[in-house]
Structure 1
Amino acid sequence: MNLRGKKIVVCVTGSVAAIETPKLVRELRRLGADIFCVISKSAKGIIHQDVLEWASNNKVVTRITGNVEHVKLAGNVPEKADLIIVAPATANTIGKIANAIDDTAVTTFVTTALGTGIPLIIVPAMHGSMYKHPIVKENIAKLKRINVSFMQPRVEEGKAKFPPVKSVVETISNSLAEKDLAGKTILVTAGPTVEAIDSLRYLTNKSSGKTGVWIADAAVVRGAKVILIRGPTKVEPTQQMRDIKVNSAKEMFTAVKKNSKAGIMIHTAAVADYTLKEKQGKIESGKSFSLKLTPTAKILDQVKKWNKKIFLVGFKAEYGVPEKQLVESAFKKLKESKADLIVANDLKKKTGGIGHNSNEVYVVDRAKKVRHFGLMHKKDIANKILALVK
């Protein structure tokens, strides 16, 4: 994440969760953002403005003065902030924002920002019963209707607690990300498939689905409309998308065919190569038995037949082969499937791949040009791939 050059206003209200705000401000500064803090009178009873000045390296706004701070940072001026976040936000402040009441420095900043069109994120933090209050819920819904973003608090011990600072930073970064995939529809597949042996047992593989799910999340952040078709993945998508869950290779095949009118498809799913006829009930244990496996249809090889114009990205895994052979195998798969890109990796490498959060991949295009992305987090690989399809 890189927030260099971004101007962010962090507003603090009178929740005890305000003790988390200096940590948030420091993390944002580490990513290069220029931070300006605004604190309410109630919040000053919980944290001192000096700690926010230390964390932000800027003077803290405690009241609106003749310098019209709200206009300089949130008004319709060239130097206005890129984003405003209220973290934490009390039920009282949320109610005031929802009704355009600006009787504190925080609410005046927010009212000005909403009129200007500056993105606003609100991080509620309060006692659980207050968070469940029907009018508080109504105020949150009212603000969501005008595109105000709300972070989900950690609900535990009867309280709606401040989310992990890391999650808040990620939400801010996502909000400020370039929307270079706006207007595009991307179909992503992820995870393994499950082929039933009997009513209890099944055949599957070790795929975690992390790469596919994180590609889908990253595509939404970058403005795309995403359709995710996935088997039983180890991770869940965090962004809003159409999420279609399947089990078998046949179900995956049907779902992909139905949604193949997308402009881009990234097929990361580790679809089973073989299936079998399910036996109803439970096969008796303690005895030998045989399974008759039949090959499944190769989804990647069918996609261009369904949609000739789709930009198609496939994945190819090998085990313990030299780099040259890995690339040749990827290029062969590209030609067979008429794909535009094939992403290849070696499963034997223990530093990444299946089940890990990191991987090392080679991307081969139609001209046989090879891009090597060394060992990195799969979320970074997701964005590398999306940069090639936009």
Structure 2
Amino acid sequence: MKILITSGGTSEPIDQVRAITNQSTGRLGAQIAQAFLEAGFSVTLLTTQNAVKPSAHPKLQQILIQTTKDLEGALQDQVPQHQVLIHSMAVSDYRPLQMVPLEKIQEADNLQRFLESDQKEGKHSSEADHQVIFLEKTPKLIQKVKDWNPDLRLIGFKLLVSVNPEELISVARASLEKNRADLIVANDLSQIDQDQHPAFLVGPDSIEQAKTKQEIAQKLLDFILNNIQNQNT
């Protein structure tokens, strides 16, 4: 069985110098990959340049991506070749369309026509006191993977901030159904620190808890071994 794991966080360029990104370190994804490698699985890791990586291993293949578009292309290529996807990467919800000095927008007689004109630069000037960044929504790739491989077993992740456990579990269950997933790992960012990573592992008929990255990785390994691999033997 081949395991596909995503980790780290995507980065969306504003110009050739600047980018919008997130604070994901990739530590959890690296921990998960390490657990599956040590259990003898072949692992393909889709990750980013600055993310934490697992130790080198003969059964590990790493593919580096940067943007959501890069990730989409890599997933389209890799998902049909794998039986399991563990999608722990923090994917950008929006990407920049344009960064424009505020005074240029105020002077424009037609904003839509202005934005559609070729205003992109290799590096935007830093002379303006105020810049306006226009963003567009990125596609929800987790909703597409079952179209690319209907037999794929999917483990997704959901991160919220400062919510009660009931709401976290409720959102995870909605994500489970919406994304046709087998399991959702739900976290609250306000509860995560260097030592602790509490999470609920929410399945269609089950809820488990973990307290650390190591526990999450082990429970995901157990889930694959007990609920997926055994069904294929």
User: TM-score normalized by structure 2?
Assistant: 0.82
Equivalent in the alignment of 1:190: 7
**2:29–2:89: 8 Å Cα contact kept in structure 1?**
yes
Q: Does the alignment pair 1:272 with 2:92?
A: yes
Q: Following TM superposition, by how much is the alpha carbon of 1:357 offset from its aligned partner in structure 2, in angstroms?
A: 4.9
Where does structure 2 lack aligned partners over 5 or more consecutive residues? 99-119, 226-233
Equivalent in the alignment of 2:221: 386
Identical amino acids, percent of aligned pairs: 32
CA 1:291–1:254 in structure 2 vs 1: closer, same or farther (change >3 Å)? same
Paired amino acid for 1:194: S
Q: Distance in 2 between matches of 1:231 and 1:297?
A: 19
Q: Does the alignment pair 1:312 with 2:154?
A: yes
Q: Following TM superposition, by how much is the alpha carbon of 1:234 offset from its aligned partner in structure 2, in angstroms?
A: 3.6
**2:26–2:53: 8 Å Cα contact kept in structure 1?**
no
Q: For residues 190-339 of structure 1, what are the structure 2 equivalents within 5 Å?
A: 190-240=7-57, 241-261=60-80, 262-277=82-97, 279-287=120-128, 288-339=130-181
Equivalent in the alignment of 1:18: none
Equivalent in the alignment of 1:30: none
Paired amino acid for 1:245: L
CA RMSD of aligned residues (A): 1.4
CA 1:233–1:213 in structure 2 vs 1: closer, same or farther (change >3 Å)? farther
**2:155–2:183: 8 Å Cα contact kept in structure 1?**
yes
User: TM-score normalized by structure 1?
Assistant: 0.50
CA 1:243–1:357 in structure 2 vs 1: closer, same or farther (change >3 Å)? farther
Equivalent in the alignment of 1:76: none
Paired amino acid for 1:293: L
Paired amino acid for 2:4: L
**1:320–1:347: 8 Å Cα contact kept in structure 2?**
yes
Q: Distance in 1 between matches of 2:83 and 2:221?
A: 13
Q: Following TM superposition, by how much is the alpha carbon of 1:282 offset from its aligned partner in structure 2, in angstroms?
A: 1.3
Paired amino acid for 1:343: V
Number of aligned pairs? 200
Q: Distance in 1 between matches of 2:201 and 2:177?
A: 14
Q: Secondary structure at the match of 1:235?
A: coil
Q: Distance in 2 between matches of 1:245 and 1:299?
A: 17
**1:311–1:389: 8 Å Cα contact kept in structure 2?**
no
Q: Distance in 2 between matches of 1:226 and 1:358?
A: 25
Q: Secondary structure at the match of 2:54?
A: coil
Runs of 4+ in 1 over 3 A off after TM superposition: 277-280
**2:155–2:181: 8 Å Cα contact kept in structure 1?**
yes
Where does structure 1 lack aligned partners over 5 or more consecutive residues? 1-183
Paired amino acid for 1:257: Q
Q: Distance in 1 between matches of 2:150 and 2:177?
A: 14
The higher relative CO (CA closer than 8 Å, separation ≥ 6) is in 2
